[in-house]
Structure 1
Amino acid sequence: MARIIDTTPAFDTYAKSAFLDSPIMRGQRWVEEYEGAHPDVFEAFYSEQGQPERGNPLTRELSRVRGQAEEGAAATKRVIEEVEPAVAEALGLPTSPSPVHVLMVGQFNANALVGRLGGEVALFHCLEWFQSEEATRVLVAHEDAHAWHEIALGEAPPEDPAWMAFSEGMAIQASRAVVPDRPDYDYFWYGHAGFEEWLPWCQEHRQQVFELFHAALDDPEGGESFFGGGLVEGRWRLGYFVADEIVRGLDRPLPELAAMNVDDARALVRDQLSALA
């Protein structure tokens, strides 16, 4: 069985009791009652994600998020149990040690992220982003591939654009292998609406996107621009398109990719980009 820490009961208790409070009081009680119930989880999460700079936006939507978290926790547990062994098998990795999975409600910063909890690789699932069980299956496969890969590497990977392209491309390929036959859109946006034109635009501007990414390989902000919250040509997350194209174009089995060291993977991405850009 997968190792799962579920913080949603503490969130539900908080949300029920704070429902009639003002947004400011809800924010204070969030820290005291929800984060205070799982201090190790939130310390680990914020050390990876960073502390929110503004007030908690979820305190104004407790009723909606409470139902979303309850549904999301039940669905995500089912998905983890189903998907996790398949991801390890697809990557050709031993099933022990395995990642710790944390079900939680964040503050709309990230839908999921890999970090460390108690010295172990942990995958934090942020249920305020929950869309559907089918979309969650793709997201869990993608993020679980990152978690297994970090266990295999033995350390947190660097965040330079070349390595991120390799790592994200491998995770996308793992999600395609473990959760096949989903619309292409789902492997990038996990069921979120409003981005239906993103992939067609990337395909239409493929050469331009590759050239822009190639030019950003040595830019310290390149990773954030292409894979984080930055915009390139007015679009988010263009690095994921590049990553998918590069790694899929390598036509190598997933276990071979997972076993590759960081320097070789970086060099491979740079070679591919030099040929394509």
Structure 2
Amino acid sequence: MKITDTTKSFLELFHSNKSATIDELQQYHAEYPEIFQTYFNGYCQWSEERLINSLKRYEKKIELIQNNAAQLPAIVEEVFERMSTYFSFKPELEVRLFVGCFGSNAYVDHHCNLHFSVEMLSSALDCLKVLVAHEMAHAFHYLFLNEAKFDWSKIKLDGYSSLYFEGVATYVSSLVIPDIGRSIYFTYNESGDEWLRFSEKNKDKIIGALSEDLGEWSMEKEREWFRLSGGKHFGYNRLGYFIGNEYIKTRNRSIKETMTFWVKESLQKDIQNWLQLYRKGANRND
């Protein structure tokens, strides 16, 4: 595994000139085009105003950025060893650490490269471990699908794909990093207990609303259920992660089989069957 740590370049810029300019920040971005082209194309909308605001926010976040930059390499190594041992599989991965402009916190690209935007992360050790495990689970999942000759054209903006992938990553993170506060597996911070209580108390309503939305999916609904910018319906974002985890943990398959069954079977039909059985009470774990 390779770790590309760009945070040192950022911190050198910040410390050498506490009032860094937009030009200097853009020089940092230009130094790592493979990271920031992807970042600004899909995970953080670029604008001059965003850069200006980010420069102001860095001053308040610099200690957190330093702490996360110091902790993450060792955490990445530990989680990689744990996941490789769990699956008896040790792939070649690249993990990229960078300071972004307060967009997405973490993501995996189409080449299975993991990206962590350190200014957006909690500095609590358990939270960092779970987030790294979640993103690494995505990478392992994609590699298992590739190995099984998955037809990637099956993936659509339909809600089912995100429910599946985020459910798998959430569940796998709990297997690889067990025995910590349950809300952390969904929120990646230490203030998610209320989010979890709401999700568990209102599971039926949430599943009902998601089932309706799956009938007519859109980018707006993708944001509502799976993005930080969502949460208008119930007042809590990314509730799709909770339902995805519920779906995955009730499958009568091994986790490796769950990660590859879509190669030969219908994901949409499997999720629809699960939702139907849930409404009848067959999948309830209350």
Deviation (angstroms), 1:254: 1.3
Unaligned runs of 5+ in 2: 147-151, 280-286
Letter paired with 2:63: G
Distance 1:45 1:82, change over 3 A: same
**Greater Cα offset, 6-15 or 52-61:** 52-61
Query: Is 1:95 matched with 2:90?
Result: yes
Structure 1 residue 182 corresponds to structure 2 residue 180: yes
Which residue matches 1:134?
Answer: 126
2:44/2:101 contact within 8 Å kept = no
Q: TM-score, normalised by structure 2?
A: 0.85
Report the alpha carbon displacement of residue 159 of structure 1 after superposing the two structures with TM: 4.1
**1:82 alignment partner, one of 78, 101, 108:** 78
The code of the aligned residue for 2:201 comes to E
Q: Size of the alignment, in residue pairs?
A: 265
The aligned amino acid for 1:69 is I
Q: Specify whether residues 260 and 89 from structure 1 end up closer, same or farther in structure 2 by C-alpha distance, changes over 3 A only.
A: farther
* C-alpha separation in 1, matches of 2:140 and 2:258: 13
Listed one character per residue, the Cα deviations across residues 145-190 of structure 1 (whole Å, up to 9, x for unaligned) are 0112122333595443112111111111111111101111111111
Looking at structure 1, the residues matched to 121 and 42 of structure 2 have their Cα atoms a distance apart, in angstroms, of 20
- Between 120-129 and 137-146, report the one with greater CA deviation: 120-129
Question: Aligned equivalents of 1:104 and 1:192: distance in 2?
Answer: 23
User: What residue in structure 1 maps to residue 230 of structure 2?
Assistant: 230
Query: Residue 124 of structure 1 aligns to a residue in which SS?
Result: strand
5 Å matches for 1:38-187? 38-53=32-47, 54-56=49-51, 57-90=53-86, 92=87, 94-96=89-91, 98-116=92-110, 120-131=111-122, 132-154=124-146, 157-187=155-185
Partner of 1:9: 8
* Larger relative contact order, structure 1 or 2 (CA cutoff 8 Å, min sep 6): 1
Q: 1:64 to 1:238 in 2, by over 3 A?
A: same
Q: Cα 1:225–1:152, aligned 2, differ >3 Å: closer, same or farther?
A: same
Superposed displacement of residue 45, structure 1 = 2.3
Contact 1:58/1:65 (<8 A) preserved = no
The one-letter amino acid paired with 1:204 is K
Which letter does structure 1 place at the counterpart of 2:130? V
Using the TM superposition, name which of 196-205 and 54-63 deviates more.
Answer: 54-63
Q: AA paired with 2:118?
A: L
Are 1:4 and 1:100, in contact at CA under 8 Å, matched by a contact in 2? yes
Question: Tell me, which stretches of 5 or more residues in structure 1 are unaligned?
Answer: none
Given that residues 169 and 243 in structure 1 are in contact (C-alpha distance below 8 angstroms), is that contact kept between their aligned partners in structure 2? yes
Call closer, same or farther: CA 1:148–1:47 in 2, change over 3 Å: farther
The residue number in structure 2 matching 1:200 is 197
TM-score computed with the length of structure 1 as normaliser: 0.87
AA aligned opposite 1:274: Q
Give a deviation string over 1:73-107, Cα, whole Å, max 9, x none: 221111111111322443x36323x2210000112
AA aligned to 2:206 is: V
Deviation at 1:66, TM superposition (A): 3.1
Amino acid of the structure 1 residue aligned with 2:90: T
RMSD across aligned positions (CA): 2.1
Measured in 2, the distance between the counterparts of 1:200 and 1:264 equals 32
The one-letter code matched in structure 2 to 1:230 is G
Partners of 2:100 and 2:117 within 8 A in 1:
yes
- Where 2:3 maps in the other structure, the secondary structure is strand
